Structure 1
Amino acid sequence: MPDDFVIARNPDGDSTLPYVLRIPLGADGIVLKARETWPRTSKVYCHRVDEWPDEAEVVERVPTRSCVRRGAAIDLVLDRGRENRSQLIMTQARGRQVIFWQSARTAKQARPGVRTPTARASGLPDLEIVVDSRERYGYTFTDRPVSISRARLDAGDYGLVRHGSLLASVERKSLADLVSSLTSGKLGYQLAELASLPRAALVVEDRYAAVFKLDRVRPAVVADGLAECQVRWPAVPIVFCDTRKLAQEWTYRFLAAASVAASEEHLSARVIADLAHPPPLAPAPPTPAEVRAWAVSQGLEVSDRGRVPARLVAAYLDDRDD
């Protein structure tokens, strides 16, 4: 396995990615084309290639302390004092794999600098969230009073299911996935499915400003497309949440609020049904005159005045019910 992290110039002069990287992972390493030699000010777009080019001019070769893959990310630590820690995030766009290279500095710039609250959602002790079985590297909600199950959802990635019905759902997307879904037309179908639910939303794990920093597609095309989607499906908000952690927090709060609202609506429906179909009233108790008249007709002794004995009232009721 290669031990060094290598940067070289891309011999393909027509490529928009002028550098070639070799990541020391696996038997032959991972070879990527990249726009920059290091993610200093923003994330760097990378594209995977099959093999290291023979005519590549090496620009830099750095020993590696650690290179470990964790899920959809590769953590790379170089053996040097500065610019030594970075991470490569793999995702899907337009049906192919794309990679974004970020450093600790660019990741920090992307964070909003806030801490999520530790308090649970208002009015809800616990929450059951169903995660779509096709969701990879999904939210875990480990710091929330949430129980998770996995099942196939008709719409969205995280749902609130009661009595077999999907009452609310949230579709999760990275910015790359959002752009890919929008330009391919897939996003419209997803929003239409979400709009069929009582409550639904789409959450994006990035800030809206990142749309205007896109270099693989015109930012105006994406901005116009998002505006058109929001106008066409106004019941499904598209929420940008800066980071994955904040997107998870927003998803938890949204589904919790939807759960409370669904419970309140169910209770209101029961009250309205009870008012529309009230239970039958119990028959009115007999008057003393009715009991006396019945007792006389039965040949029973009863006084003309005063209280009617309870035994006669009970006998009257038994005879009436029969």
Structure 2
Amino acid sequence: MPDDFLVARNPEEGSSLPYVIRIPLGPDGIVLKAREPWPRTAKVYCHRAEAWPIDAEVLERVPTRVCTSRGAAIDLVLDRSRENRSQFVLARAKGRHVIFWQTPRTAKQARPNVRIPTARPRPGDPDTPDAGPPIPAELEILVDSYERYAWTFSRQQATTRRAPLSVGDYAVELDGRVVAAVERKSLQDLSSSLLNGRLRYALAELSGIRHGAVVVEDKYSRVFSLKHVRPAAVADAVAESQARYPTVPIIFCETRALAQEWTFRFLAAALHEARLDLGAAPHLDDLERAGPVPPREPTTAEVRAWAVAEGLPVSDRGRLRPEVWDAYRASRR
């Protein structure tokens, strides 16, 4: 389980990065030096530190709800109502590692190393700090040999190749291994496969790969106009499937053309992510681990209760005298 996220003053004199932060990732955490204590108006540049400084003055200590790594990024969610969501992105610039700390406000998209323009996917921009290795200029999409009336992707920058697929109807490979797949359904096929249980097996297979999805060539609202089945049963089955297999989204697209377009973009982005996961880009393993976290500072109430138990004279409220704090710290050594 994640522990606390720490922000402290950097004890190094003359440093251009005046703050030290500890990310609670892994058993020892990761320590970075940062220009700001939080990315409020712009991305914050960070640099890795060897270890947590013993004499650092802790400014903030916040419990963490989520701290996970994905490729070259760390997603961090703190247990507070404001300034709680952020992301650390590891990239390379001029041959060295650089780390940027960003929030939804300071980044238009919180998707490191993936560029999906409004037109068509194209190679990543090497001048962008978030850019990773480029995707192919023309994507090769595998089409299952048993797929009838298959999409041709004639309007996209893609080629297709027929091949027997063990999972999904459309897929992309990396080093001979399927890394992303999409199961295509019409609304009638979706409803029948949900009710007879076939789709559950397909979802289980798709959940076994890094990127899997089901795309439906129709609107979700059309579920409630089905004639030969009970619409509520189909809607419940969709919801139950998503709850059971949360990593495999079921996407409703209005038309066949939009479903094909979504599949093309999904497979392109998934292939890009898979290449990053295989080490083609900077990875979080390049960062040194922080070591043990310093103990939490006691609250005034805790020290007051200790002082009362020890028979020391203290007031019922307000600040405590420095000698009381010194006595408490001495008792803990």
Q: For this structure pair, what is the TM-score category when the shorter chain's length is used for normalisation? A: 0.3 to 0.5
Q: Which of the pair has more CA radius of gyration?
A: 1
Normalised by the size of structure 2, how large is the TM-score?
0.45
Which has the higher relative contact order, 1 or 2, with Cα contacts under 8 A spaced 6 or more apart? 2
TM-score normalized with structure 1 length = 0.47
More helix per residue: 1
